[in-house]
Amino acid sequence: MRLGSLAIDPPLFLAPMAGITDRDFRLIVRRIGGVGMVGMEFLPAKGLVAGDRRTLQLLHFSDEERPLSMQIYGGDPATLGAAARQVQALGPDAVDVNMGCPANQVLKGCAGAALMGDLDVARRIVAAVRREVRVPLTVKFRLGLDERRVNYLELARICEGEGADGVVLHARTARQMFRGEAAWEHVARLKEALSIPVIGNGDVRAPEDAVRMLRQTGCDGVMIGRGATRNPWIFRQAAALLCGCTDGGAAALPTIAERRTLVLDHFAAVVAREPAPLALHKLRTFTGVYSHGLPAGERLRRQIQVLPDAPALIAAVETFFADLELAAA
């Protein structure tokens, strides 16, 4: 697929996720293979414009990650335009505007999914960002604020009319958060309504789900979020299914040894780069997602909450994987 002049092959996208898609995780997914574009953690426009230290620390990326999209969010068109100008100067391959985040702290700032309740402001934001951005521009949104206010088609037409190169639809309402099932039929409906590319998002938990979404909805691409945290190999597996390479190899499930190597290499990179308190927080977060669905994963997640530092946590994770390998032998 193409976003403007940019080719995305395969049409598989790593979703931007706060606290998750930092440089280390993006590189992990890129090096495993199969991902067409990776998304940076979403960036607050106010923080960018004000030069907030924490926000600026999120901006670092390497050429190895390309193609890479930077996502910005906020509720004021002028601030979003200024932030877009800063982001454009950094040289990303694409820029995305977040109009779908359902988190309360974002909604309170009249940003994220809250913009679906004020389409005039949403229009002015897309126009302001488009004026500043020369790379492909996308907008990510949900079905609407709730079941009574489903207006994604109207917002999508606004985005197309203001020059967006593509849109991303998470097929849930903001009120649903991540509960219930994503309504993929709306992705299909959106694809029929627009001439620009449509990227579907929601409930892609397995590589087969990505293939099914593409075929069932006719969308141009698939964005994967939580499914990638639980299985960073999902892009490689889905890409293999898309090309018909299903006989082992790239489509194979990772072994326990492969999972152990990935997790410990990732944790070593976090410890080397982050100050101790932040490193421990990140290790706890990623231990939670990496252990999801694995035997005794819940016990490990409880255990790490009381461990005092990163070395103790890493030792617990090493023991966890050693026990898994022993049980599988």
Strand 221-224 to 198-201 pairing: parallel
Residue 315 has φ and ψ, to the nearest 5°, of: -60, -40
Cα 325–chain centre separation = 30
Asked if residue 207 lies in contact with residue 238, where contact means CB atoms within 8 angstroms, the answer is yes
d(C-alpha 301, C-alpha 231), whole Å:
17
Cα 263–chain centre separation = 19
d(C-alpha 199, C-alpha 167), whole Å:
6
For residue 247, CA distances in Å to 35, 214, 241, 243, 244 come to 20, 21, 9, 11, 9
Q: Per the structure block, which two tokens stand in for 246?
A: 């299903």
For residue 154, CA distances in Å to 118, 145, 192, 239 come to 11, 13, 13, 32
* Residues carrying an active site annotation: 101
Surface-to-core class of residue 300, CB atoms within 10 Å of its CB (0-12 exposed, 13-18 middle, 19+ buried): buried
d(C-alpha 70, C-alpha 59), whole Å:
9
H/E element, 73: strand 68-73
